[in-house]
Amino acid sequence: MDQIPTHVTPRVEPTRGFGSLTSELGLLYGCDYNPEQWSREVWVEDVALMRAAGVNLVTVGVFSWALLEPQPGEFDMDWLGDVLDLLHAGGIAVDLATPSASPPAWMGVRWPETRAVTADGVRLSHGSRNHFCPSSSVYRERSLAIAGALVDRFASHPAVRMWHIGNEFGQVCHCDQCGAAFQTWLRARYGTLDELNRAWGTTFWSQCYFDWTEIIPPRAAPYLVNPTQTLDFRRFTSDQLLAMYTEQRDLVRTGSSGACVTTNFMGFHHLNDYWRWASEVDVIADDTYGDPADSDSPVRQALAHDLMRGLAGGAPWLLMEQAVSAVPWRGHNLPKTPGQTRLDSLRAIARGADGSCFFQWRQSAFGSERFHSALVPHAGPDTRLHRTVRAHGAELRRLDRVVGARVAARVALVFDWSSWWAAEEPAGPSTRLRVMDQMIAYYRPLWRAGIAVDIVSPGGDLAGYDLVVAPQLFLVDDPDARNLRGVVERGGVLVLGPFSGVADADAHIRLGRFPVQFADLVGGSGEEYCPLPDAGLRVRSAELGDFTATVWGERLRLDDGEAVATFTGDLDGSPAVLRRRAASGGEAWYVGTVPPQSVLDAIMGRAAASAGVVGTLGPGPLPDDVEAVQRGDVLFLLNAADEERVVALPGVHRDLLTAVRYNGAVLLGPQDAVALVAETA
């Protein structure tokens, strides 16, 4: 919290990286390993099986706190030392975790204030995990103490090559300690109470504050809570977790020489502004749990992976967790097929990951995750699942040439956490317009066309992008608006989705015809948000074909742009889609509605064509369900369909995975993938 001013989204700097590890070990392949659930005989078998499976990195100790410190200040680390010795003897590198995600029962019993409190005032109990209050000084000190003890004991252990701080930071607590920390954060953000009162608009409903101590986290209240208070509490919560992370990271960095330090992100996770976290980790690491029953799983995973590459500033990142099959938090688990397991892992590698890891190594026999799939299932290694794991470990070795290689993208998709939070505060015009739905809808046609996309923050460096798309950027501050406008001013193409440019950084609505900061750019402007009836509303378009828009409309007027599509009915004559070509040669689009996906595909196709952007394999469409990504000199083609697909590809290519050569076309089996390098004729 101290190191980043509260109002700034730091520029994404390339992470320090884990290149020394991957240059030695090649692509990382591994998993969480929880040896404390097993006997020593099993540990020995585990290491042998890991070696056979090609595992070269395991994350150890994530949930080991109670065993490492059975009583406050009494450490028992010998067993972990034995585990590290065994792993090292087996040639397996260790990502050693600090165990702060799950404090022991003794802590919550002795110091109840270490347990988080919900918005309803309920203090959470131990007996699960993640029950801590991130502002509790006792909890923070004890977390540092156990982390320090681990560093003292193991920082120089040759197995330890990476540090994993906590796990999946994502807690929210409404207790009085968090309230006090929130007040401190607000003082740093606003300086004076006058400024806070202005930003929060506290003249509304008599909410004015006359003393900092009157300010509380949003808690159970009779009716709607101040939206800027809620927005700031979300910003604070992310920063508070980040402060917890950085204090442990700094301790680890001081005590260890050079090992990289990270924690595991959770994709588009609602509780953390990862733009503010990105430069604080040495390697961007992510947990992505593709759902085999969801036909959208490939596109969702791809989007999350492209976010990780964006957070890494283009540098390689690490898929820290995925499931090889079932997870306990889905109601009904279709097993992953071997093809899906392989595709999900290769998708991450294709999109810039230098490693593919799973949760977890051996399937637990007890505890809440005993039905969570693992690399060694209950039935043991003589299983289809484990054979898949081994085969995949072997094939990853054939992909080592992609280590460090980049994915070059000329398209940026803009995403911002504050904007997401503010857009979905209660009491907007419609709860049906959802930011993530819009993100997927605008990303999908690019993904289908095999066009590489980086996910960027609105303040990020947009210089290298010819097409910049902001699917639903509700909140845009002035510098970010200038940044986005710059795309068009230098001849690029900007596409803005509905309900964009609505609010400022305080979530105050910008006054005037919307989108206020962009109306001149898109050649039209609006005056009323008009969520649509369930039946939708017909839209006429000579260019796109007539269609029925759903969910969302806006009463827009044409100024000096073009109406690419125009509403009928209640919004008769109002443009639904605006476009304006600028003198620079650049172009701006504003889509003031939710068109059917096929129409949005056409819009994005036109915008890409204007920007001169084509897919990895050229302008033509890819076969359905086929994904194409160029990473360095390797072309990945992934086929998620249950049927064969043929992809036309001029020239001779060799598949690194199978050594098969293709001339002019590639035959992809059902749920199959190739990693091709061009052969000189």
Q: Binding ligand GLA by CB under 6 A: which of 59, 114, 135, 167?
A: 167
Instruction: Give 596's contacts (C-beta < 8 A, 6+ positions apart).
Output: 547, 548, 549, 550
Buried b (16+ CB within 10 A) or exposed e, 496-505: bbbbbbbbbb
Residues binding Zn ion: number (CB under 5 A): 6
Measured CA distances, 502 to 499, 527, 572 (Å): 6, 11, 23
Which CB sits closer to ligand GLA, 129 or 513?
Answer: 129
Site for ligand GLA contains 333 (CB under 6 A)? no
Q: Which stretch binds Zn ion (CB under 5 A): 134-142, 189-197, 206-214, 606-614?
A: 134-142
Does the active-site annotation cover 369? no
Q: Which stretch binds ligand GLA (CB under 6 A): 321-329, 330-338, 469-477, 599-607?
A: 321-329
- The entry of ligand GLA, Zn ion, none near residue 287 (CB within 5 to 8 angstroms by kind) is ligand GLA
- Say if residue 113 is exposed, middle or buried (CB neighbours under 10 Å; 0-12, 13-18, 19+): middle
Which CB sits closer to ligand GLA, 102 or 136?
Answer: 102
Measured CA distances, 347 to 69, 447, 625 (Å): 39, 12, 13
Instruction: Give 588's contacts (C-beta < 8 A, 6+ positions apart).
Output: 488, 493, 494, 495, 496, 518, 521, 522, 523, 561, 579, 580, 582
Instruction: Give 227's contacts (C-beta < 8 A, 6+ positions apart).
Output: 422, 425, 426, 427, 507
Site for ligand GLA contains 344 (CB under 6 A)? no
Does the active-site annotation cover 643? no
- The entry of Zn ion, ligand GLA, none near residue 167 (CB within 5 to 8 angstroms by kind) is ligand GLA
CA distance 503 to 676: 46
**With contact defined as beta carbons under 8 Å apart, do 617 and 646 qualify?**
no
Which CB sits closer to ligand GLA, 317 or 636?
Answer: 317
Site for Zn ion contains 256 (CB under 5 A)? no
DSSP string, 21-57: HHHHH-SEEEEEE-GGGS-HHHHHHHHHHHHHHT--E
Binding to ligand GLA, residues 236-295 (CB under 6 A): 287, 289
Shortest Cβ distance from residue 234 to Zn ion (Å)?
15
CA distance 604 to 327: 35
**With contact defined as beta carbons under 8 Å apart, do 488 and 588 qualify?**
yes
Measured CA distances, 309 to 14, 162, 358, 425, 455 (Å): 10, 20, 19, 28, 8
Annotated catalytic residue: which of 13, 24, 113, 168? 168
Q: Please give the structure tokens belonging to residue 647.
A: 């992809």
- The entry of Zn ion, ligand GLA, none near residue 504 (CB within 5 to 8 angstroms by kind) is none
Element holding 137 (H helix, E strand): helix 137-154
Q: Binding ligand GLA by CB under 6 A: which of 249, 253, 372, 444?
A: 372
Site for Zn ion contains 135 (CB under 5 A)? yes
Site for Zn ion contains 616 (CB under 5 A)? no
Q: Which of 426, 367, 355, 359 is nearest to 396 (CA)?
A: 355
Buried b (16+ CB within 10 A) or exposed e, 387-411: ebbbebbebbeebebbbeeebebbb
Q: Binding ligand GLA by CB under 6 A: which of 168, 232, 239, 587?
A: 168
Show the binding pattern over residues 651-670: x = contacts ligand GLA (CB under 6 A), - = does not. --------------------
Q: Which stretch binds ligand GLA (CB under 6 A): 299-307, 320-328, 536-544, 565-573?
A: 320-328
Shortest Cβ distance from residue 372 to ligand GLA (Å)?
5
Show the binding pattern over residues 72-111: x = contacts ligand GLA (CB under 6 A), - = does not. ----------------------------------------
Q: Binding Zn ion by CB under 5 A: which of 84, 150, 173, 326?
A: 173
Annotated catalytic residue: which of 69, 280, 321, 587? 321
Which CB sits closer to ligand GLA, 321 or 601?
Answer: 321
- The entry of ligand GLA, Zn ion, none near residue 321 (CB within 5 to 8 angstroms by kind) is ligand GLA
Give contact residues for Zn ion (rule: CB under 5 A).
133, 135, 173, 175, 177-178
Report, as residue numbers or ranges, the catalytic residues. Answer: 168, 321
Q: Footprint of ligand GLA on this chain (CB under 6 A)? A: 167-168, 287, 289, 321, 323, 327, 359, 369, 372
